[in-house]
Amino acid sequence: MTTKNVSKKYELTNETTEVKDHLYGRVRTLYRIRALRSFGGVKKGDLGGFIESEYNLSHQGNCWVGDDAKVYNAAMVWGHAKVFENAIICDEACVNGFAKVYGNVRAYGKAIIGGRARVLGDTQLILGAWVTGRKEISTGLISFCR
Protein backbone atom coordinates (compact mmCIF):
# COMPACT_ATOMS: atom_id res chain seq x y z
CA MET A 1 0.00 0.00 0.00
CA THR A 2 2.99 2.30 -0.34
CA THR A 3 2.90 4.97 -3.01
CA LYS A 4 5.82 6.76 -4.64
CA ASN A 5 4.89 10.23 -3.35
CA VAL A 6 4.46 9.30 0.31
CA SER A 7 7.45 9.78 2.60
CA LYS A 8 8.33 6.72 4.61
CA LYS A 9 7.16 6.86 8.20
CA TYR A 10 9.07 3.83 9.48
CA GLU A 11 12.02 1.60 8.70
CA LEU A 12 12.80 -2.03 9.35
CA THR A 13 15.48 -2.45 12.01
CA ASN A 14 18.01 -5.26 12.42
CA GLU A 15 16.06 -6.66 15.39
CA THR A 16 14.27 -9.77 14.20
CA THR A 17 12.06 -12.54 15.46
CA GLU A 18 10.98 -15.73 13.76
CA VAL A 19 7.48 -17.15 13.57
CA LYS A 20 6.28 -20.43 12.16
CA ASP A 21 3.57 -19.98 9.55
CA HIS A 22 0.63 -21.99 10.91
CA LEU A 23 -0.63 -22.83 7.40
CA TYR A 24 2.52 -23.95 5.62
CA GLY A 25 4.93 -24.56 8.48
CA ARG A 26 7.42 -22.14 6.91
CA VAL A 27 9.59 -20.08 9.27
CA ARG A 28 9.19 -16.35 8.58
CA THR A 29 11.56 -13.62 9.70
CA LEU A 30 9.89 -10.48 11.03
CA TYR A 31 11.59 -7.12 11.61
CA ARG A 32 10.96 -4.62 14.38
CA ILE A 33 10.02 -1.21 13.00
CA ARG A 34 11.23 2.27 13.99
CA ALA A 35 9.36 5.52 13.29
CA LEU A 36 11.22 7.90 10.96
CA ARG A 37 8.86 10.80 11.72
CA SER A 38 6.21 11.71 14.27
CA PHE A 39 2.56 10.99 13.45
CA GLY A 40 -0.68 10.07 15.25
CA GLY A 41 0.75 9.58 18.74
CA VAL A 42 3.94 7.92 17.50
CA LYS A 43 7.16 9.89 17.98
CA LYS A 44 10.15 9.88 15.66
CA GLY A 45 12.52 7.15 16.87
CA ASP A 46 9.82 5.09 18.62
CA LEU A 47 10.21 1.35 18.20
CA GLY A 48 7.14 -0.54 17.07
CA GLY A 49 6.16 -4.15 16.66
CA PHE A 50 7.24 -6.66 14.03
CA ILE A 51 6.36 -6.93 10.34
CA GLU A 52 7.63 -9.21 7.60
CA SER A 53 7.89 -6.50 4.93
CA GLU A 54 6.72 -3.00 4.07
CA TYR A 55 3.73 -4.63 2.37
CA ASN A 56 2.29 -5.33 5.83
CA LEU A 57 2.07 -1.71 7.07
CA SER A 58 1.16 1.31 4.97
CA HIS A 59 3.29 4.45 5.04
CA GLN A 60 0.09 6.48 4.58
CA GLY A 61 -2.23 7.54 7.40
CA ASN A 62 -1.52 7.07 11.10
CA CYS A 63 -1.61 3.26 11.15
CA TRP A 64 0.94 1.59 13.40
CA VAL A 65 2.06 -1.78 14.70
CA GLY A 66 3.35 -1.39 18.26
CA ASP A 67 4.70 -3.25 21.27
CA ASP A 68 5.31 -6.91 20.36
CA ALA A 69 2.47 -7.21 17.84
CA LYS A 70 3.24 -9.13 14.65
CA VAL A 71 1.90 -8.70 11.11
CA TYR A 72 3.09 -11.02 8.37
CA ASN A 73 2.44 -13.06 5.26
CA ALA A 74 -0.06 -11.11 3.08
CA ALA A 75 -1.73 -9.37 6.05
CA MET A 76 -2.10 -5.60 5.86
CA VAL A 77 -2.61 -2.67 8.25
CA TRP A 78 -3.57 0.71 6.79
CA GLY A 79 -5.56 3.89 7.33
CA HIS A 80 -5.39 4.93 10.98
CA ALA A 81 -5.59 1.41 12.42
CA LYS A 82 -3.48 0.34 15.41
CA VAL A 83 -2.26 -3.17 16.21
CA PHE A 84 -0.38 -3.53 19.47
CA GLU A 85 0.45 -5.53 22.61
CA ASN A 86 0.75 -9.21 21.53
CA ALA A 87 -1.74 -9.26 18.65
CA ILE A 88 -0.95 -11.34 15.57
CA ILE A 89 -2.38 -10.47 12.15
CA CYS A 90 -1.41 -12.91 9.40
CA ASP A 91 -2.38 -14.71 6.20
CA GLU A 92 -4.58 -12.26 4.24
CA ALA A 93 -6.17 -10.56 7.25
CA CYS A 94 -6.64 -6.78 7.08
CA VAL A 95 -6.94 -4.10 9.74
CA ASN A 96 -8.02 -0.68 8.50
CA GLY A 97 -10.00 2.47 9.22
CA PHE A 98 -9.67 3.52 12.86
CA ALA A 99 -9.75 -0.06 14.18
CA LYS A 100 -7.72 -1.07 17.23
CA VAL A 101 -6.49 -4.61 17.78
CA TYR A 102 -4.68 -5.50 20.99
CA GLY A 103 -4.23 -8.06 23.72
CA ASN A 104 -3.63 -11.60 22.51
CA VAL A 105 -5.84 -11.33 19.43
CA ARG A 106 -5.15 -13.66 16.50
CA ALA A 107 -6.57 -12.77 13.07
CA TYR A 108 -6.05 -15.38 10.35
CA GLY A 109 -7.29 -16.18 6.89
CA LYS A 110 -9.18 -13.35 5.26
CA ALA A 111 -10.42 -11.75 8.47
CA ILE A 112 -11.23 -8.03 8.22
CA ILE A 113 -11.23 -5.59 11.12
CA GLY A 114 -12.27 -2.09 10.17
CA GLY A 115 -14.26 1.03 10.89
CA ARG A 116 -13.92 1.94 14.56
CA ALA A 117 -13.99 -1.68 15.74
CA ARG A 118 -11.99 -2.75 18.78
CA VAL A 119 -10.86 -6.35 19.08
CA LEU A 120 -9.03 -7.30 22.25
CA GLY A 121 -8.38 -10.00 24.80
CA ASP A 122 -7.98 -13.56 23.59
CA THR A 123 -10.23 -13.21 20.54
CA GLN A 124 -9.53 -15.28 17.43
CA LEU A 125 -10.83 -14.21 14.03
CA ILE A 126 -10.54 -16.83 11.32
CA LEU A 127 -11.48 -17.44 7.71
CA GLY A 128 -13.89 -14.75 6.51
CA ALA A 129 -14.66 -13.06 9.83
CA TRP A 130 -15.56 -9.37 9.58
CA VAL A 131 -15.63 -7.01 12.53
CA THR A 132 -16.50 -3.49 11.44
CA GLY A 133 -18.42 -0.41 12.52
CA ARG A 134 -18.23 0.35 16.22
CA LYS A 135 -18.22 -3.26 17.43
CA GLU A 136 -16.09 -4.31 20.38
CA ILE A 137 -15.15 -7.94 20.86
CA SER A 138 -13.12 -9.04 23.85
CA THR A 139 -13.20 -12.83 23.69
CA GLY A 140 -14.28 -15.70 21.52
CA LEU A 141 -13.73 -17.39 18.19
CA ILE A 142 -15.31 -15.54 15.27
CA SER A 143 -15.63 -17.17 11.85
CA PHE A 144 -17.57 -16.15 8.71
CA CYS A 145 -19.35 -13.42 10.66
CA ARG A 146 -20.52 -10.21 8.94
Q: Looking at residues 114-136, what average pLDDT do you find? A: 95
Is 107 in contact with 95 (CB distance < 8 Å)? Answer: yes
- Asked if the model's pLDDT at residue 145 lies above 60, the reply is no
- Name the residue with higher pLDDT: 24 or 2: 24
Instruction: Identify the domain containing residue 129 by its residue range.
Output: 10-143
- Asked if the model's pLDDT at residue 3 lies above 80, the reply is no
- Name the residue with higher pLDDT: 122 or 128: 122
25 pLDDT tier (thresholds 50, 70, 90): confident
Q: Looking at residues 103-128, what average pLDDT do you find? A: 96
Question: Does 21 fall in a domain?
Answer: yes
Question: Does 72 fall in a domain?
Answer: yes
- Phi/psi for 56 (5° steps) reads -75, -20
Report DSSP letters for the chain, one per residue.
Answer: ---TTSPP-EEEEEEEEEEE-TTT--EEEEEEEEESS-BTTBPTT-EEEEESSGGGB-SSTT-EE-TT-EE-TT-EE-TT-EE-TT-EE-TT-EE-TT-EE-SS-EE-TT-EE-TT-EE-TT-EEETT-EE-TT-EE-SSEEES--
Write the CB contacts of 4 (distance below 8 Å, at least 6 apart in sequence): none
The pLDDT tens digits for 47-63 are 999 999 999 999 999 99
* Average pLDDT, rounded, for the chain: 94
Q: Looking at residues 6-24, what average pLDDT do you find? A: 93
- Asked if the model's pLDDT at residue 97 lies above 60, the reply is yes
Q: Which amino acid is at 53?
A: S
Can you give the CATH number for the domain in which 80 is found? 2.160.10
For residue 11, the Cα-to-chain-centroid distance in whole angstroms is 15
- Asked if the model's pLDDT at residue 144 lies above 90, the reply is no
Question: Does 1 fall in a domain?
Answer: no
Question: Does 4 fall in a domain?
Answer: no
Question: Does 5 fall in a domain?
Answer: no
Number of domains in the chain: 1
Report the alpha-carbon distance of residue 4 to residue 108 in Å, rounded.
Answer: 29
How many C-alpha atoms does 7 have within 13 Å on its Cβ side?
A: 6
Q: Looking at residues 75-103, what average pLDDT do you find? A: 98
Question: Does 45 fall in a domain?
Answer: yes
Return the pLDDT at 2.
Answer: 45
Question: Does 2 fall in a domain?
Answer: no
Which residues are paired to 125 by β-bridges? 107, 142
Question: Does 22 fall in a domain?
Answer: yes
